[in-house]
């Protein structure tokens, strides 16, 4: 029997299998149990090493998995020099992520392969909505909000930012939490804050960014994940992409186990989005493998899994080009957008 990844002193817990536990108490506003949860750090690291050491798929199987990975990408631009024109080009790339001749060679040209969403700053939501409408596609627009990336603005301002992004046409909102609430153990305050984010989103999907590189410990990552899900998040997301440390496998394992625990207790499936530092096709395959092993095939769909990335698509298309032609593309053969 393996060493449990999650250890808790809560009396009403039950061991499921060899390496995780499920809190069996009522998931409500009584959050006293959260302070007693601990994460077995060495066990998480061992599991992460297993994932990273695994060999990837090859040839046509690799091409198939890479095309699937494209459909999970939230194609992102979050730069200070974003303009309406580069957002328009990004939206075009979101609709046509892989060159048509390459898709035809794979007999996938009629499968309507697009990215899962386009992610921009709130001020660029209108640009993205117009560009996607002009392109005749229904790819959703995601907007970061709540003082991204630091989350250090007044709560009233953060809530208004959500409402304005939704009014402009964003159907998904990627919010950042106030990290100080996690670092000081103010779990009820964090719960209340995210509940207000949830209300401000209305019908839009709420993706809660934990900024795990700034939470101090894997135990805090698990606790914050549970609070975010209890407060009504549709997705939990690793990072803003602006932290020193972004999406890592140890953090992902802890968040995925929290999602699994939450599902076993409530029956609700919560999505997962790694973001930051995912740049290569090999990285994408490793993330898909991890989701398949930890949560199963049910989570391998855009409704429950996304990859936040700005440069990943370029390498995926490059690998597809190599699979079809037997050589790597020159830079000008596959312009990003």
Question: pLDDT at residue 108 above 60?
Answer: yes
- Average pLDDT (121-132) is 98
Q: What is the predicted pLDDT for the residue at 3?
A: 45
Residue 34: pLDDT band with limits 50, 70, 90 = confident
Peptide bond just before 323 cis, omega within 30 deg? no
> In this structure, are residues 108 and 71 in contact, taking their beta carbons and an 8 Å threshold?
no
Whether 295 and 256 have beta carbons less than 8 Å apart is answered as: yes
Nearest residue to 118 via CA among 133, 101, 100 = 133
The pLDDT of residue 329: 85
Give the residue, 10 or 175, on which the prediction is more confident: 175
Q: Which residues lie closer than 8 Å to 290 by C-beta, 6 or more apart?
A: 51, 249, 252, 253, 256
Choose between 23 and 242: higher pLDDT: 242
- So what's the pLDDT on residue 330? 81
Residue 170 scores a pLDDT above 90: yes
CA 43 from chain centre, in angstroms, equals 23
Query: Per-residue pLDDT averaged across 28-32, rounded?
Result: 66
Hey, what are 185's tokens? 């153990």
Q: How far, in Å, are 94, 98, 131, 327, 334 from residue 323 at the CA level? A: 21, 13, 31, 8, 14
Helix 59-70 and helix 281-294, axial crossing angle in degrees, nearest 10: 80
For the purposes of burial, counting CB atoms within 10 Å of the CB of 72, is it exposed (0-12), middle (13-18) or buried (19 or more)?
Answer: buried
Q: Select from 211, 209, 213, 214 the least CA-distant residue to 194.
A: 209
What's the average model confidence in pLDDT over 305-322?
95
**In the predicted structure, residue 331 carries a pLDDT above the cut 80:** no
* Percent share of the chain, pLDDT over 70: 91
Evaluate whether 253 touches 47 at the Cβ level (below 8 Å). yes
Q: Is 161 exposed, middle or buried (0-12, 13-18, 19+ CB in 10 A)?
A: buried
Instruction: List residues with catalytic annotation.
Output: 174, 237, 273
> For the segment 238-276, what is each residue's pLDDT rounded down to a tens digit?
999 999 999 999 999 999 999 999 999 999 999 999 999
Range 308-314 average pLDDT: 94
E-strand stretches of the chain: 6-8, 13-16, 20-23, 37-39, 73-76, 117-120, 141-145, 172-176, 205-209, 235-237, 271-273, 307-309
Greater model confidence, 20 or 80: 80
Q: Is the pLDDT of residue 217 over 80?
A: yes
What pLDDT was estimated at residue 18?
Answer: 29
Helix (H), strand (E) counts: the chain: 12, 12
- What pLDDT score was predicted for residue 7? 45
Integer angstrom CA distances of residue 51 from 67, 119, 246, 306: 21, 28, 17, 19
250's enclosing H/E stretch is helix 249-266
Residue 25: its pLDDT value, please? 37
- The β-bridge relationship of strands 205-209 and 6-8 is unpaired
Query: What is the percentage of the chain residues whose pLDDT exceeds 90?
Result: 83
Q: What is the mean pLDDT of the chain?
A: 90
Q: How far does Cα 163 stand from its chain's mean position?
A: 21
What Cα–Cα distance (Å) separates residue 45 from each residue in 22, 126, 150, 183, 192? Answer: 20, 42, 27, 22, 32
Mean pLDDT, residues 103-126 taken together: 96
> What is the pLDDT at residue 336?
64
Residue 153 to residue 145: CA distance in whole angstroms: 11
pTM: 0.91
**Average pLDDT, integer, range 115-140:** 97
Q: At residue 15, does pLDDT exceed 50?
A: no
- pLDDT band at residue 6, thresholds of 50, 70 and 90? low
Q: Looking at the predicted structure, is the pLDDT value of residue 16 above 70?
A: no
Residue 36 has pLDDT above 90, yes or no: no
């Amino acid at each position: 029997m393996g060493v449990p990844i999650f250890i808790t002193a809560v009396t009403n817990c039950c061991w499921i299998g060899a390496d995780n536990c499920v809190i069996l108490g009522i998931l409500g506003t009584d959050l006293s149990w959260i302070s007693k949860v601990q994460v077995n750090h060495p066990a998480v690291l061992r599991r992460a090493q297993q994932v990273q050491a695994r060999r990837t798929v090859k040839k046509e199987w690799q091409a198939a998995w890479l095309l699937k990975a494209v459909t999970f990408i939230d194609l992102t631009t979050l730069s200070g020099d974003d303009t309406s024109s580069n957002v328009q080009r990004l939206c075009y790339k979101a609709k046509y992520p892989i060159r048509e001749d390459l898709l035809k060679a794979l007999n996938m040209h009629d499968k309507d392969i697009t990215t899962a969403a386009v992610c921009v700053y709130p001020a660029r939501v209108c640009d993205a909505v117009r560009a996607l409408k002009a392109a005749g596609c229904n790819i959703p627009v995601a907007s970061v909000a709540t003082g991204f990336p630091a989350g250090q603005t007044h709560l009233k301002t953060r809530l208004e930012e959500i409402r304005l992004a939704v009014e402009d046409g964003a159907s998904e909102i990627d919010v950042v939490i106030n990290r100080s609430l996690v670092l000081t153990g103010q779990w009820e305050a964090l719960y209340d804050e995210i509940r207000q984010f949830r209300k401000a989103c209305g019908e839009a999907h709420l993706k809660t960014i934990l900024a795990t590189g700034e939470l101090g410990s894997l135990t805090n990552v698990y606790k914050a994940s549970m609070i975010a899900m209890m407060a009504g998040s549709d997705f939990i997301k690793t990072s803003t992409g602006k932290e020193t440390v972004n999406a890592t496998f140890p953090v992902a394992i802890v968040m995925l186990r929290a999602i699994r625990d939450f599902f076993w207790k409530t029956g609700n499936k919560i999505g997962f989005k790694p973001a930051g530092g995912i740049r290569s096709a090999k990285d994408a395959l490793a993330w898909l493998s991890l989701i398949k092993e930890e949560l199963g095939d049910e989570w391998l769909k855009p409704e429950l899994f996304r990859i936040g990335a700005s440069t990943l698509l370029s390498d995926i298309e490059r690998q597809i080009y190599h699979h079809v032609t037997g050589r790597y593309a020159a830079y000008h053969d596959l312009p990003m957008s």
